[in-house]
Amino acid sequence: MRQVKLRRATDSATQNKTDVQSVMESIWLSRGLEDVPDYSLSQLLPPTLLGLDLAIERLIKALQEHERILVVGDFDADGATATVLVVSALQAMGARRVDWKIPDRFRHGYGLSERLINELDKPLPDVLLTVDQGISSVAGVALAKSRGMDVIVTDHHLPGSTLPNADAIINPNLAEDPFPSKHLAGVGVVFYLMVALRQHLRAKGYFNDIEEPRLDQWLDLVALGTVADLVRLDDNNRRLVAQGIKRIRAGHTRPGVRALLEVAKRNLRYTSAADLGYAVGPRLNAAGRLDDMGLGVRCLLATTETEAFELAGALDVINSKRRAMQAKMQSEAMSQAEQLTATLEKGLAGACLFDANWHEGLVGLVAGQVAERIQRPVVAFAPEAEGGDYLKGSARSPGSIHMRDLLVELDTNHPGMIERFGGHSGAAGLTIASHQLDSFKAAFMQRVEKIPASEAVVHSDGSLSVEALSVTLAQLISDSGPWGQGFPEPLFDGQFMVVDRRVVGEEHLKLRLQPVGGGEVVDAIAFRSARLFRETLPEPWHVTYRLEVNRWRGQTAVQLNLQHWVLEALDSA
């Protein structure tokens, strides 16, 4: 639990409401909605992405002439789900020679690299289709085309000043692209490509000879990739995710998704976006960080329960290894940050961290955790796994600081210092030569010192009445999702007396809390907060929490998932 200052939304006023429907109405209003959102597929945005026509024309030719198609994904959950969706959909539309490949994070690096192109098996594909990557792969695309391949790039990452010379580029973030939602994940982009491709094939009478596939069968993959990639859940993304979760809850999901949920001890019937983001996504991502994301792709492509559970079990083992390695790196990184803080009079403006024993696949997670803790920009570096004279870094920001733009500025002002970089506003990756570390650290710290300090302030939907602290409201909140980036799950705050507390699972704190002012004692959990068991803290505790349904041995009860320790309540926003 992190210490924060609190600001309540003026239009929530939940503490005065006992009717759960009224509480939900306040929550909708605070998120800019006047009514319960409509997540039906009929309201899905139409496929108007730039480049669709060119890509479809080339794919139709490949289908009709049975050409070789190679799908090249990315080594994260978004890339894996996008790869599986395209391969499965193209096969369902009659593709006989479609294959896939995921770059090796350590040998190939990010994107469609020249090294990856040079290692492709013969005969080379006729069409190479990237998913969740490729927009920055200028040299890789050029090399592929020089070898006789046609290249279709599908991506959602921010484009640079120079675009690859592909036969078609589909990316909602292209400057001239008319698609209203700029927040599609990579898997969302290719879902739209498959929707448009099926429309064109239908118009040509293509499905007179083969069965026309239902595209909603792949919405479980769209939901998983979208949530795991932490893209903003705007109206359209929420619709895609809601439909995917609906299918998963009904049991209409592929064996790999089912197996990953079960090895994570999640109940298929009550699957939420949080389960996809915090349980399934990390198990897929662990393969890309430490091993081979091909394992994740094979799990999602599995057609039998036996194969799926075997592969999901292997991914679970890799994830356990990832967690142990990350915990050690995290401890070392926080120690470095604390030492930096102790030497500064004005406080820590940011942190540039490095350890020769760190793993390059995990520095992004470490940078993110440190940035969240210190509420300042962080870059963490590790040696390149291939043993070269380079460092791989990840940059993370806790708030409004645009990390990719910051790297653009550093690259402009210090040409040659950064070998390559890319990413989003809150997260970016970069590579530097080892001898440039001190220069980068000096330039980075000089830049972040100019960024005004911001307080750790969280926004609460208000306090709940004792009557509203119920399974009914908790279930309604769960059913009203998906919640996520840009559409936060309701967060409440309140004051409680601690009736009982104990450590569970070595690092978590299980509590029984009594609301101040009366009411029934409620269960609560504070993850990774076992240290609070040993501390004597003044009561009542003023905390923020999310309301959950705790299901255990056939019983249901309301549970508070504690998030923050409130230092001060500010004026309403």
The answer to whether 4 touches 565, Cβ cutoff 8 Å, is: yes
Window from 46-50, 233-237, 461-465, 557-561 with minimum mean pLDDT: 461-465
Of the candidates 197, 201, 239, the one whose C-alpha atom is nearest the C-alpha of residue 219 is 239
pLDDT at 455: 66
User: Comparing 104-113, 193-202, 208-217, which segment has the lowest mean pLDDT?
Assistant: 104-113
Quick: pLDDT tens for 126-139. 999 999 999 999 99
Instruction: Average the pLDDT over 144-149 and give the result.
Output: 97
Q: What is the DSSP string of 152-219?
A: EEE--SPP-SS----SEEE-TTSTT---S-----HHHHHHHHHHHHHHHHHHTTGGGTSPPPPGGGGH
Task: Answer yes or no: are the C-beta atoms of 262 and 65 closer than 8 Å.
Answer: no
What digits encode the pLDDT tens for the residues 215-259?
999 999 999 999 999 899 999 999 999 999 999 999 999 999 999
- % of the chain surpassing 90 pLDDT: 69
Query: What pLDDT, on the 0 to 100 scale, is given for residue 13?
Result: 46
Tokens of 87: 């391969």
As a whole number of angstroms, the distance between CA 271 and CA 260 comes to 12
Instruction: Grade residue 444 by pLDDT with cuts at 50, 70 and 90.
Output: very high
User: What is the pLDDT of the chain when averaged over all its residues?
Assistant: 91
Transcribe 36-58 into DSSP letters.
-----GGGSPP---TTHHHHHHH
Is the pLDDT at 321 greater than 70? The verdict is: yes
- Model pLDDT, residue 69: 98
Of 345 and 258, more confident: 258
pLDDT confidence band for 16 (50 / 70 / 90): low
Does pLDDT of 291 surpass 90?
A: no
Q: Name the more confident of 573 and 19.
A: 19
Q: Which domains does the chain have, with CATH numbers?
A: 2-34+457-569 (2.40.50.460), 45-317 (3.90.1640.30), 350-448 (3.10.310.30)
Closest alpha carbon to 221 in 86, 81, 102, 76:
81
Instruction: Check whether 345 has a pLDDT greater than 60.
Output: no
Helix or strand or coil: residue 126? coil
- Judge contact between 526 and 473, C-beta under 8 A: no
Other beta carbons less than 10 A from residue 518's beta carbon:
7
Residue 424 clears pLDDT 70, i.e. is over it? yes
Side-chain half-sphere of 305: how many Cα atoms within 13 Å?
A: 5
Give the range among 128-132, 265-269, 532-536 with minimum mean pLDDT. 532-536
Residue 228 main-chain phi, psi, to 5 deg:
-65, -30
CA distance 12 to 461: 6
121, pLDDT greater than 50: yes
Q: Say what the pLDDT of residue 15 is.
A: 53
pLDDT, position 62 = 97
pTM to 2 decimal places: 0.90
